[in-house]
């Protein structure tokens, strides 16, 4: 299941805060801040989608993520590779390295990451 852009923005704040009351979440938004009812509606949808849950604390709710940020984005990257790059990670890597303005240092860092992962796979 995926999140809308507005839900994803809200989810970013919840991941950042780890646990948050409505007032904490609203404080994360830049001005002009959305209405409480707008955020409450987004939270309800995200609870229904099993991305967020809450604990009752007195008369308020403390929200927390049910999905890890890395898991969410890993699923999206894998879907992107499958749908736009014929399920080929090497086509994706080729596009990523050629079509973005990566510096030599960034490319070297990517090479180190790949070399490290190759070593792990060989063990």
Tokens of 122: 């060989």
Of the chain, the percentage scoring pLDDT greater than 70 comes to 100
Cα end-to-end span (Å), the chain: 35
CA–CA separation, 34 and 59 (whole Å): 22
pLDDT at 81: 86
Tell me if the pTM is above 0.85. no
Strand partners, 52: 65
Residue ranges of the domains in the chain? 5-65, 69-122
DSSP letter at 30 equals P
Confidence of residue 98 (pLDDT cuts 50, 70, 90): confident
pLDDT in tens, 30-56: 999 999 999 999 999 999 999 999 999
Confidence at residue 18, expressed as pLDDT on a 0 to 100 scale: 97
CATH code reported for the domain at 5-65: 1.10.10.10
Cα separation of 38 and 23, whole Å? 13
């Amino acid at each position: 299941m995926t999140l809308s852009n507005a839900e994803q923005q809200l989810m970013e704040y919840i991941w950042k805060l780890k646990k948050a009351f409505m007032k904490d979440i609203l404080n994360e938004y830049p001005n002009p801040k959305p209405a409480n009812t707008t955020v409450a509606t987004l939270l309800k949808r995200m609870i229904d989608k099993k991305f967020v849950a809450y604990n009752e604390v007195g008369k308020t709710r403390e929200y927390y993520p049910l999905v890890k940020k890395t898991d969410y984005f890993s699923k999206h990257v894998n879907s992107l590779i499958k749908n736009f790059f014929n399920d080929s990670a090497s086509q994706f890597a080729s596009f990523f390295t050629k079509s973005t303005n990566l510096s030599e240092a960034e490319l070297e860092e990517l090479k180190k990451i790949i070399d490290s992962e190759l070593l792990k796979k060989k063990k």
